[in-house]
C-alpha cells in the first residue's frame, strides 16, 4: 500500500482513543498521540494477523467497521488513510484475515487499492505501444533500413 503523510486526528479524537483503549487496553501507551491513534491501531491489527491471533484481528476489524459505520466525513477519511489502507493480506494468515473483514471495510479497502493501482500505473505513450526490452533494437527501424 502507499504510505501517506500522517492524517490529523479527526474531531472527537478523545472519544476515538477512549473506545480503542476500552476494547484494547494494551494500546494505551501507543495512543498517547491522538494524531497517530488510527495508525497505531492499524499496526496493532496487522501484528495480530502476523502472529496468527485471528480472534484479536477479528475484534479489531469489527471495531473499525463500527467506527466506520458511525463516522462523520472527517473520521471516515482518517479511517481510510490511517487504518484501512494499511491493512494487508499477504502471508500465510492473509486469506483467513480477509474473510474476517466485514463487507463495508472490504469495499473501502478495494476502493483504496484500486485508486492506488490507478495512481501507480505508468502513463501510456500512444506512440510506443510496446517497449522493447533493454538491449533489443527497434525492429521497425531495422526493417526500414533494410528496405532502402
Q: What is the pTM of this model?
A: 0.73
Query: Which range marks the domain in which residue 48 is found?
Result: 13-121
| Domain assignment of residue 126, yes or no | no
> What is the number of structural domains in the chain?
1
Query: Which three three-digit cell numbers place residue 28?
Result: 494505551
| Domain assignment of residue 69, yes or no | yes
| Domain assignment of residue 139, yes or no | no
| Domain assignment of residue 41, yes or no | yes
pLDDT of 42: 96
Query: Which three three-digit cell numbers place residue 46?
Result: 496487522
Query: Which three three-digit cell numbers place residue 122?
Result: 505508468
Round to whole Å and give the CA distance between 54 and 51.
8
pLDDT of 5: 45
| Domain assignment of residue 57, yes or no | yes
- Give pLDDT tens digits for 51-73: 999 999 999 999 999 999 999 99
Answer whether residue 74 shows pLDDT above 50.
Answer: yes
Amino acid at each position: 500500500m502507499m504510505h501517506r503523510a500522517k492524517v490529523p486526528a479527526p474531531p472527537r479524537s478523545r472519544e476515538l482513543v477512549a473506545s480503542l483503549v476500552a476494547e484494547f487496553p494494551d494500546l494505551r501507551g501507543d495512543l498517547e498521540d491522538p494524531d497517530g491513534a488510527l495508525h497505531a491501531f492499524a499496526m496493532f491489527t496487522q501484528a495480530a494477523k502476523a502472529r496468527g491471533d485471528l480472534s484479536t484481528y477479528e475484534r479489531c476489524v469489527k471495531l473499525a467497521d463500527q467506527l466506520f459505520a458511525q463516522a462523520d466525513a472527517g473520521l471516515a477519511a482518517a479511517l481510510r488513510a490511517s487504518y484501512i489502507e494499511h491493512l494487508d493480506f499477504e502471508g500465510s494468515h492473509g486469506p483467513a484475515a480477509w474473510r474476517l473483514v466485514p463487507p463495508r471495510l472490504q469495499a473501502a479497502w478495494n476502493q483504496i487499492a484500486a485508486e492506488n493501482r490507478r495512481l501507480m500505473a505508468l502513463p501510456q505513450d500512444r506512440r510506443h505501444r510496446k517497449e522493447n526490452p533493454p538491449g533489443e533494437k527497434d525492429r521497425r527501424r531495422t526493417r526500414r533500413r533494410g528496405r532502402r
